[in-house]
């Protein structure tokens, strides 16, 4: 007897693909935004911090609706992307990845920011006095020391993206084989008679995958801390 049906396997693999690309697309912008928030002092710093963390406090359906009116086929950003690049996000898995990335971005930024703030600023200043440019100081001093936090933030973002539901279903719906993620499939089972068993099966799969990611992250972080001089 197969563990999952073909449709459920598709939902699982699609969720993993969406979570991977959402995390990958968020990583570099997240590190840069975290650096700006951790080291920058400028007018509007508080506003930028509030905007970055807004998806954490907004109802996910609101975030999904904002994505729909902005990146839908009739939205300004959606029309521009389709006209210049032929990219359509609404009701596509790429749109689900965008929604997941938006929801996971604050967790990534927060973890990376805290890690950067924990780096001894004196080490950065010492590298600067030796002639290193700010960019080189960041790449050779700040980022290596903050790497465990970057890894932790990436795993948190991946886990959040893997379980994202509200913004995703509002923006791209739940289309089997295209946008139906694991969370959407679980919700679908809860809405039909006799769906409790399949829903529980998918819940167990989701818990196992998320726990595996967290355990792997902790093991890698410990190895990296052990290698520090």
Domains of the chain in start order, with CATH, are 6-227 (1.10.3720.10)
Q: Residue 225's pLDDT is what?
A: 63
**116, 38 in Cβ contact below 8 A?**
yes
H or E, element range at 146: helix 143-163
DSSP SS3 for 40: coil
Q: Which residues of the chain have pLDDT under 70?
A: 1-2, 220-221, 223-229
**C-alpha–C-alpha distance, residues 4 and 15, integer Å:** 15
Predicted structure pTM score: 0.87
- At residue 121, the pLDDT reads 82
Check residue 62 and report its DSSP letter.
H
**Per-residue pLDDT at 2:** 64
Predicted local confidence at residue 1, as pLDDT:
41
Q: Residues 168, 161: contact at Cβ < 8 Å?
A: no
C-alpha to C-alpha distance for 67 and 74, rounded to whole angstroms: 11
Report the pLDDT value the prediction gives residue 223, as an integer from 0 to 100.
67
Rounded Cα distance, 15 and 21, in Å: 10
> Residue 194: what pLDDT?
84
Specify the pLDDT at position 214: 78
Phi, psi of 120, rounded to the nearest 5 degrees: -65, 115
pLDDT for residue 82: 85
Q: Closest Cα partner for 94 from 67, 75, 113?
A: 67
Phi-psi sector, 90: left (phi>0), alpha (psi -120 to 50), beta: beta
Contacts of 135 (CB under 8 A, 6+ apart): none
Task: Give the per-residue pLDDT at 229.
Answer: 53
Residue-by-residue DSSP string for 84-114: HH----TTSHHHHHHHHHHHHHHHHHHHHHH
CA distance 44 to 49: 9
Residues 6+ apart with CB under 8 A from 215: none
């Amino acid at each position: 007897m197969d563990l999952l049906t073909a449709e459920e396997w598709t939902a699982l693999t699609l969720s993993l693909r969406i979570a991977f690309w959402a995390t990958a697309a968020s990583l570099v912008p997240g590190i840069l935004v975290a650096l700006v928030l951790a080291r920058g002092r400028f007018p509007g710093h508080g506003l930028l911090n509030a905007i970055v963390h807004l998806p954490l406090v907004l109802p996910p359906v609101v975030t999904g609706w904002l994505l729909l009116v902005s990146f839908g086929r009739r939205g300004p950003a959606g029309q521009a992307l389709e006209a210049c690049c032929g990219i359509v996000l609404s009701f596509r898995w790429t749109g689900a990845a965008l929604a997941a990335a938006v929801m996971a971005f604050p967790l990534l930024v927060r973890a990376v920011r805290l890690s950067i703030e924990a780096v001894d600023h004196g080490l950065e200043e010492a590298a600067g006095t030796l002639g290193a440019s700010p960019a080189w100081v960041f790449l050779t001093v700040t980022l290596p020391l903050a790497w465990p936090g970057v890894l932790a933030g990436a795993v948190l973002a991946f886990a959040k993206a893997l379980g994202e539901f509200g913004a995703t279903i509002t923006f791209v719906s739940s289309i089997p084989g295209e946008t139906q993620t694991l969370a959407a499939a679980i919700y679908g089972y809860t809405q039909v008679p006799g769906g409790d068993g399949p829903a529980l099966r998918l819940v167990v799969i989701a818990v196992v995958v998320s726990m595996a990611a967290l355990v792997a992250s902790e093991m890698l972080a410990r190895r990296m801390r052990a290698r520090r001089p």
